[in-house]
Amino acid sequence: MKIETILFDLDGTLIDTNELIIASFTHTVGKFGDRPYAREEIIEFIGPPLVDSLQKVNPEKVEDMMKTYREHNYANHENYVKAYPTVVDTIKKLKEAGYQLGIVTTKLSDTARLGLEITGMGDMFEVLIGLDDVENAKPHPEPILKAIDKLKANPMTTLMVGDNYHDIEAGHNAGVQTAGVAWTIKGREFLSTYDPHYMLEQMSDLLEIVGAE
């Protein structure tokens, strides 16, 4: 069935925030952790909701840690954040071709909007569902279903694009098609084990998949 609606995760999918996230986690666990954390350990924190990751570091100080992390992350956005290759051009072409476009992210809406503004995509999406818009984060289907509802879209003609397992699982749970991105920091082999319908080598591959070349 023809794809009419495309929902995107943000960090690690459209915009490269990996070094920003790693820097913010490093800063936070340096203040609150009981030991230094290796880069490989911090990479494991990327993807799930912030509260879940920080719970593993110091369950007693989660609120303080979230505040510290978010302050560092917001203040340093401009120094780190950039769009991945072919992303901005692809999103423009999809928008011009009349596809419904949305963001479904596990970060807070305001921070997500900041990332979109910095990369020149602030006005390209009809809906943005952030962590503060839902009761249940991905891989629960709620964020995707909420975006579909706001767009009055059809799940059968919707595609969810993401860089992490919870994006693909959320897509499966919501009954939509899914696409993984080969540039995921987790590694494409890891993402492939979650059975996305498509794997994008670069974002412009989407144009062919949906027939918008």
Q: What is the CATH number of the domain that holds 22?
A: 1.10.150.240
CA quadruple 189, 131, 25, 55: dihedral sign: negative
Query: Is 9 annotated as catalytic?
Result: yes
| pLDDT number for residue 114 | 94
| pLDDT number for residue 49 | 85
- Same-domain status, 111 and 172: yes
Residues 145, 109: Cα–Cα separation, whole Å: 17
Q: Is the pLDDT of residue 1 over 90?
A: no
- Same-domain status, 75 and 120: no
Sheet holding 177-181, edge to edge: 127-129, 100-104, 5-8, 158-162, 177-181, 198-200
The enclosing H or E element of 75 equals: helix 62-75
- Same-domain status, 63 and 132: no
Average pLDDT rounded to a whole number, residues 42-51: 89
The total of structural domains in the chain comes to 2
| pLDDT number for residue 154 | 98
Query: Contact 1/175 with Cβ under 8 angstroms?
Result: no
Domain boundary among the residues 55, 79, 103 is at 79
| pLDDT number for residue 158 | 98
Residues in the chain, total: 213
The band of 169, judged by pLDDT with boundaries at 50, 70 and 90, is very high
- Same-domain status, 185 and 173: yes
Average pLDDT rounded to a whole number, residues 199-206: 98
- Same-domain status, 153 and 57: no
Task: Give pLDDT tens digits for 55-110.
Answer: 999 999 999 999 999 999 999 999 999 999 999 999 999 999 999 999 999 999 99
Domain boundary among the residues 32, 55, 79 is at 79
The band of 47, judged by pLDDT with boundaries at 50, 70 and 90, is confident
Domain range for 66:
18-79
- Same-domain status, 95 and 152: yes
Task: Give pLDDT tens digits for 145-168.
Answer: 999 999 999 999 999 999 999 999
The band of 43, judged by pLDDT with boundaries at 50, 70 and 90, is very high
